[in-house]
């Protein structure tokens, strides 16, 4: 039997220690090679998928009012790339402005702000008819009224979009700041020939307009509301009412704002009378 302090026992301990270290190193090397291979495969797959998204033909517009494209992985890839390019351009612009000599910075405000991008949107009703696309409040119990989704944004008439996007009736904010938000809805009431005048007037003619914003928080947040109660004379065959409201609110990037109304059957989407918009103040 060898003594604990003998040379052979010390040599055995050293060999065991070296074997343990080599075994751990070998295991770590195998694990590293495995995860490196898996990560490379995932990167190659994602890269090929991303390239395929840009190579295939896509006629979709950023301002389409549907939810189908929002669920498309390619749409998200393009959206992220667009956001990244926008941030890089903004950073480059700010760095360029900061390097301008003081004499040039003392020039009139109109010259300095000439390159600044305007952030504004004005979207209008689609037709003078009352038939329009509205989403009932039953889809979201936290939203009152019916959400208007059929706004016109393709620069027909008075509508336009500058650095804001429209999707499913919602304006999507691209830049954090204080915005003036406004909306007007136009209501047209006409007596139904098949229903008696007395019975028709007994119906609820309360008209309310709501403006909501949605954030990362799951429930929409009510920003403004305005209401009118109709009171037509006995001899009137029709009635016209409009509700307008506006206010300044702080909005963050990717926030969305939209309009909903009650008594949607009375809504008239005439482009000069029903509209919705916002613009950046600071």
Residue ranges per structural domain of the chain: 78-112, 120-280
How confident is the model over 267-281, as a mean pLDDT?
92
Exposed, middle or buried: residue 228 (CB in 10 Å: 0-12, 13-18, 19+)? middle
Query: Does position 119 have pLDDT exceeding 50, yes or no?
Result: yes
Mean pLDDT of 79-90: 70
**CATH number among 3.30.450.20, 3.30.2290.10, 1.20.1090.10, 2.60.120.40, domain 120-280:** 2.60.120.40
The 10s digit of each residue's pLDDT in 206-237 is 899 999 999 988 899 999 999 987 765 666 66
pLDDT band, residue 247 (cuts 50/70/90): very high
CA-based angle 83:86:90, to the nearest 5? 140
pTM score = 0.56
Cβ proximity of 116 and 92 under 8 Å: no
Tens-place pLDDT, residues 10-57: 788 888 888 888 888 888 888 888 888 877 777 666 655 555 665 555
CA gap 76, 50 in Å, rounded: 10
Predicted confidence band at 77 (pLDDT cuts at 50, 70, 90)? low
24 membership: H or E segment, kind and range: helix 7-55
124-142 pLDDT, tens per residue? 988 655 444 455 544 556 7
């Amino acid at each position: 039997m060898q003594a604990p302090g003998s040379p052979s026992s010390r040599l055995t301990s050293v060999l065991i220690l070296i074997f343990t270290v080599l075994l751990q190193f070998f295991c770590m090397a195998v694990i590293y090679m495995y995860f490196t291979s898996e990560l490379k495969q995932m990167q190659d797959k994602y890269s090929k998928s991303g390239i395929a998204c840009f190579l295939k033909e896509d006629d979709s517009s950023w301002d389409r009012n549907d939810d189908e494209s929002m669920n498309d992985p390619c749409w998200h890839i393009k959206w992220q790339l667009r956001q990244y390019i926008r941030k890089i351009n903004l950073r480059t612009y700010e760095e360029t402005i900061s390097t301008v000599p003081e004499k040039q910075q003392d020039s009139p405000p109109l010259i300095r702000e000439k390159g600044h991008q305007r952030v504004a949107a004005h979207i209008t009703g689609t037709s003078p008819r009352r038939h329009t696309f509205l989403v009932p409040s039953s889809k979201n119990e936290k939203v009152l009224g019916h959400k208007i989704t059929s706004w016109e944004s393709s620069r027909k008439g008075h509508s336009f979009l500058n650095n804001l996007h429209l999707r499913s009736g919602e304006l999507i904010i691209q830049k954090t700041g204080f915005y003036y938000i406004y909306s007007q809805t136009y209501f047209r009431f006409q007596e139904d020939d098949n229903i008696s005048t007395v019975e028709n007037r007994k119906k609820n003619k309360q008209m309310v307009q709501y403006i909501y914003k949605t954030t990362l928080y799951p429930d929409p947040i009510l920003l403004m509301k305005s209401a009118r109660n109709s009171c037509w004379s006995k001899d009137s065959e029709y009635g016209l009412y409009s509700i307008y409201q506006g206010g300044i609110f702080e909005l963050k990037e990717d926030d969305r704002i939209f309009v909903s109304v009650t008594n949607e059957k009375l809504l008239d989407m005439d482009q000069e009378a029903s509209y919705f918009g916002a613009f950046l103040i600071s």
